[in-house]
Structures are given as C-alpha cells and as structure tokens.
Chains A and B, each alone.
Chain A
Amino acid sequence: MQNELLQYTLRLGDNALILGQRLAEWCGHGPILEQDIALSNIALDQLGQARMLMQYAAELKGSESTEDKMAFFRDVTEYNNLLLLELENGDWGKTIARQFLFDTYNYFLYTELLNSKDDHIRAVAQKAIKEITYHAQWSAEWVIRLGDGTEESHERIQNAINDLWEWSGEMFTMDAIDEAMLKAGIGADLNKIKADWHEKVSMILDMATLEKPEADWFQSGGKQGEHTEYLGFLLAEMQHLPRMYPEASW
C-alpha cells in the first residue's frame, strides 16, 4: 500500500514537474509580454505543486530521500508522467492545445482529490485546485480565441488538437496502482473524469468552431515509465547542474 501511494504521488508530481519544465522553456519567448508572463506563472504553479508532491514522495520513501533527489536523480524510466506532457512545445497552438487537454483533465482530477482519504494529497489538492481553475479557464479561452480567430489560427489549433489527440487517452487508463488507490479512497476514478472531460472538451471545441477528433487508438506507457525520446533531452537539461555539482545550493 505504501509503495502504491508512493507511485501515485510520483505520477502526480511528475506530471506537474515535467509540464512546468516544458512551460518554463517559453520564458522570454512568448508571442507577447502578457502571455509570456502567463506561461511563466502557470509553470511556477506547476513547479510549486511538484515540490509539495515530491516532498511527500520523499517522506514516503524514507531513508535519505529528499525532494531534490526525487526531481534530479531519477532517470527516464523512473519518471511516471503522462507522455502528452513531455512532447516538445511546438508552436503557440500546440502549447495551448496541450495545456487545454491537460488542464481540463487536471481540473476534474484535483476536484476528485479534494475528497482523498490521504491527508497530504487532500491538502495539496485544496491548494492546487485554486490555481488549476485559473489555468483551465485561461487555456480554454485561448482555444476559443484561436479556433474562432483567423483562418491561419484556426488551422493551426485544429492541427494541434488532431496531432495531440492520440496522446490524450493515457490520462484515463486505470492500471493496478490507480485501482488500488481508488479502492483505498485515496485516488480518483478516471472513468468518471473521462466523462466530465469529454463533455467539457466538446463544449469548448464547439465554441471554438473546431472539430473533435474521433480517433480511438491511444499512446500509453508514460505512467509505467516507458517514454518518448523527448523526455531524455528534457531531463538532461533539467538535471545536468545538480548531477555535475551534487552539493550545489542557492
């Protein structure tokens, strides 16, 4: 049970950390100042949530474990984030599409986790849901703005949604860890979230004059540590300093 809780916490933490790192790549490169700041703000929220979860994971793991060891000294196969979040940023449309698909999921997920029987997960959820609510609203508004914008913006956001769709199914796959956590009243029922997610995503895509893809085959593996080639490069950049100078501190 302890091990399943550790894995579950790491999955949540890894999602937050990897997405935070990807969004941080935008810092200084946003199309306009306000949106550059918006992405950095969202990245910072994700990093903050990742820290709260990694601290808890380190506590569960015990011995010499720390949040920094969790973040900087695990390798690709030990990361449990969703594949969707490690993909490269691409253009603005792809970044927005990824954010929208994930924020909507994350909003419903953390809403469920508000009732978690685990005190720490519940406390993180109470904190995080306030931030995620703002993220979800922001990315949904951008999907509508791009979809219902110019011919160019419409085409680019539609292509981004189409390209990313096959990476979205993994959010709802329940494996043994998810089942155990649901049974223990700690984790969320991903089937329930799937229904809520589809309803919200359909509504926003409709408002954005975009088509909802119909593909029913999905990529998977991230939650179990099987990743795309992109994650290694991301980790190399994120981890090189603490690995080169393990005693480095601010």
Chain B
Amino acid sequence: MVLSENQIWQWLEDVSDPEIPVLSVVDLGVVRHVDINHDHPIVTITPTYSGCPAMNEIEENIRKKLKEEGLETIEVKTILSPAWTTDWMTENGKKKLQEFGIAPPEGSSADKSVLFGKAKQVTCPKCKSTNTSMISQFGSTACKSLYKCEDCKEPFDYFKCI
C-alpha cells in the first residue's frame, strides 16, 4: 500500500477532541500539517490554548488511530507558531458545534472589539435568538465563555473567538 497524505487526513477525521467529542481534531484546526517521510507519517499539531489539558490526549489518540490503521512509526510534532485561531475551525466543525448546543465563534479573530469591552452578538444554539447575554467570560473549558439566552432562558457555552 502506498501511503498518501489524503488518506491520513481522512483517518484523522475519526480522532475526536476529548473535551468536545463532536469535533474531530481536523474540524478544530489543531492539525496543521501531514507529511510523509519514507512511509512514516509526521503529523504536526498546535495547541488551542497554552494550558489546554487535552493536548497530550489528542497526541495519544492520533498515535492510537494511526496504529490501528497499521502504521508503525508515527511522529507527532507540536508547534506554537503560527498561534491557533478559531478562524481555522472548519465550517463543518462550526455546524457540528451548533447542533451539539455550543454557539460557534462569531466572525473573525481579527475583530478586536472584545478588547474594548464590546460584547459580541452571540446566537442561542437552541432557539436561534440573538437576545443573549454573557454570564462569564470564562466557561467550562479555556476555549469557552458562558452565555444565557434571554428568550428561551437556556444557559449555553460560547466558543470564544481568538
């Protein structure tokens, strides 16, 4: 079998984020490159947040998946630069988040309005109302803040734009 980069990308679609299991590591945009060196895959990943506790597990799960597919020597490299941004999340990933009940990041990370204390308009993933407000900038994981919907009254997670 000749190993192709495409095939590896496809396999990685089955590796999910341990904290948000509906998203694959590809949807999330943490896989930056896939290279093949003499039949050995080199997968390059980048952390979402510097203290993200899921990174070790993501690395292990990538190794495990590729081993299951019959690959022997697997290299997983971590890089810091360029820094991960929510802009790398796939459209499919955003859709899956929404269906899971987490509001996906709104707009682009280039929008710096949050620096000046302006809250973003976030859509409630349950009833789609935009009449929502932030409860806390910090949520259940480093990547999310906590919102509530003023119409359907549901609290929900919002995936912060960074």
* Set of chain A residues within 8 Å of B139, measured between Cβ atoms: 37, 41
Consensus secondary structure, chain A interface: helix
Question: Is A41's CB under 8 angstroms from B138's CB?
Answer: yes
In the A-B complex, the 6 residue pairs with the closest CB atoms: A48-B51, A48-B50, A123-B81, A34-B136, A44-B51, A38-B138
Residue of A nearest to B144 (CB): A41
B162: Cβ under 8 A from any A Cβ: yes
Task: Please provide the chain B residues from 109 to 134 with a CB less than 8 Å away from any CB of chain A in the complex.
Answer: 109, 114-115, 117
B101: Cβ under 8 A from any A Cβ: no
Number of A-B residue pairs at CB separation under 8 A: 78
Question: Is A37's CB under 8 angstroms from B138's CB?
Answer: yes
Question: Is A126's CB under 8 angstroms from B82's CB?
Answer: yes
A16-43 vs B, Cβ < 8 Å mask (1 yes, 0 no): 0000000000000000001101100110
Number of interface residues of B (CB under 8 A): 27
B89: Cβ under 8 A from any A Cβ: no
A48 smallest CB distance to B (angstroms): 3
A133 smallest CB distance to B (angstroms): 6
Residue of A nearest to B56 (CB): A250
Question: Is B114's CB under 8 angstroms from A137's CB?
Answer: yes
A5 smallest CB distance to B (angstroms): 17
A49 to B81, CA, bound (A): 14
Residue of A nearest to B46 (CB): A127
A223: Cβ under 8 A from any B Cβ: no
B49: Cβ under 8 A from any A Cβ: yes
B86-118 vs A, Cβ < 8 Å mask (1 yes, 0 no): 000000000000000000000001000011010
* Set of chain B residues within 8 Å of A133, measured between Cβ atoms: 114-115
Q: A34, A49, A127: which contacts B138 (Cβ < 8 A)?
A: A34
**Residues of chain A having any CB pair with chain B under 8 Å:** 34-35, 37-38, 41-42, 44-49, 51-52, 119-120, 122-124, 126-128, 130-131, 133-134, 137-138, 141
A45 to B50, CA, bound (A): 6
**Residues of chain B having any CB pair with chain A under 8 Å:** 47, 49-53, 79-85, 109, 114-115, 117, 135-140, 142, 146, 160, 162
Question: Is A46's CB under 8 angstroms from B51's CB?
Answer: yes
Question: Is B83's CB under 8 angstroms from A127's CB?
Answer: yes
A127 to B47, CA, bound (A): 9
Can you sample 13 A-B contacts with CB below 8 Å?
Answer: A37-B140, A41-B139, A44-B51, A47-B51, A48-B47, A51-B50, A123-B80, A123-B81, A127-B80, A127-B83, A131-B49, A137-B114, A137-B115
Residue of B nearest to A119 (CB): B81
Extra 16 A-B pairs, beta carbons < 8 Å, given A48-B47, A126-B80, A131-B50: A37-B139, A37-B140, A38-B137, A48-B49, A48-B51, A49-B51, A51-B50, A122-B81, A123-B83, A124-B50, A124-B80, A127-B80, A127-B81, A130-B109, A130-B162, A138-B137
A122 smallest CB distance to B (angstroms): 7
* Set of chain A residues within 8 Å of B81, measured between Cβ atoms: 119, 122-123, 126-127
* Set of chain A residues within 8 Å of B142, measured between Cβ atoms: 41, 44-45, 131
* Set of chain B residues within 8 Å of A51, measured between Cβ atoms: 50-51
Residue of A nearest to B115 (CB): A133
* Set of chain A residues within 8 Å of B117, measured between Cβ atoms: 137, 141
Question: Is B137's CB under 8 angstroms from A134's CB?
Answer: yes
* Set of chain B residues within 8 Å of A130, measured between Cβ atoms: 83, 85, 109, 162
Residue of A nearest to B109 (CB): A130
A178 to B119, CA, bound (A): 37
A141 to B135, CA, bound (A): 13
* Set of chain B residues within 8 Å of A34, measured between Cβ atoms: 135-136, 138, 146
Residue of B nearest to A45 (CB): B51
B120 smallest CB distance to A (angstroms): 13
B48 smallest CB distance to A (angstroms): 10
